[in-house]
Amino acid sequence: MEQSIHIPIMAQEIISFLDPKPNTIIFDGTIGFGGHASQILPLISKGHYYGFDQDHYAFNFCQNKFKDNISLKIYHMSYSEGLEFLKKQKILVDFVLLDLGISSYHIDLSERGFTFLQDQPLDMRMNLTNSLTAKKILNTYTIKDLSDIFYNFGELFQNKILSQNIINYRKKHTISTTFQLIELIKQSYRFNNNRRKFIKTCSQVFQALRIETNNELGELNLFLEQLTTILSTQAKIAILSFHSIEDRIVKRFFKKNKQSFSSFTKKVITSSKEELQLNSRAKSAKLRLYQYKANS
């Protein structure tokens, strides 16, 4: 079970880029279930590994998994909060790792509505202390707000009928489960037995709701704006994204700030055929690598 909930993506590419020394200081903003950490920690015997995660289950899992490792400190907070924490402590890091994907645990085991393949409550929160849920969004947002979310966060450009059907349905019923939402999607589009189109549309709707529920893009932008405040001279940054919206934000930020950062590769890195055979969920992953140029 442990392996199934945290398969690290492009771990060897990340480690090769990091080229860790025994005293390296690392910021892992989304430690998750410790997939990358478990491979990097043995290489930094005299270093420090600061791991952050806003999901309580992942946090507790890692605390137990790494309880005997003195190099690792784990904190239950988002990665932008983690950055602010280290900033206040005046700690500079040599390497920043962000894995922006959701884990297999969240899809397969959490029962929070991240998947449209099972009937689950429409929660979608990574941090269960937050008040906003997908259910609240679907039952309280205006038709314009719903349309904007599907357009901007799911790149679902034809969404007016779906948004209207949601408004009409909730006048008589509370939208509480993933399968209720699936039925509304089916009523809003002509799929003509095209399962690929159906899956793509469902993925776009669920992605949009998850991003809004967790303020994922706001979190990423906030983090990037403050990134240099925790970087040591010649620090390295590795960011794994899993959809085009996140990847564009990362790409544009570092292009805009090219006087402070250099790209390690000309093109974005994707998973090898060998990795895809072992982990099909790595298919959408994109890895971007950068080096900080302090005082430039």
| 8-state DSSP, 86 | H
Q: Which residues of 134-169 are buried (b: 16+ CB within 10 A; e: fewer)?
A: bbebbbebeeeebbbbbbebbebeebeebbebbeeb
Q: Tell me the pLDDT tens digit for each residue of 91-111.
A: 999 999 999 988 766 677 668
| pLDDT for the residue 106 | 66
Q: Which CATH class is domain 11-99+217-292?
A: alpha beta
Rounded CA-CA distance 272/100 in Å is 19
Q: What is the residue extent of each domain of the chain?
A: 11-99+217-292, 111-214
**Interacting residues of 240 by C-beta distance below 8 A, sequence separation 6+:** 9, 10, 98, 99, 100, 101, 285, 286, 287
Q: One-letter amino acid identity for 257?
A: N
Q: Which residue has the tokens 């790595």?
A: 282
Other CB atoms within 10 Å distance of the CB of residue 5: 20
| pLDDT for the residue 268 | 95
Q: One-letter amino acid identity for 214?
A: N
Q: Tell me the pLDDT tens digit for each residue of 261-273.
A: 999 998 999 999 9
80 with 54: CB under 8 angstroms?
no
Q: Residue 12 burial by CB count (10 A; 0-12/13-18/19+): exposed, middle or buried?
A: exposed
pLDDT at 215 over 80: yes
Rounded CA-CA distance 207/59 in Å is 23
Lowest mean pLDDT among 89-93, 105-109, 140-144, 161-165: 105-109
Can you give the pTM of this predicted structure? 0.92
**CATH 3.90.650.10: does it fit domain 111-214?**
no
Instruction: Give the chain's radius of gyration (CA, Å).
Output: 20
Sign of CA dihedral 87, 91, 92, 95: negative
| pLDDT for the residue 279 | 86
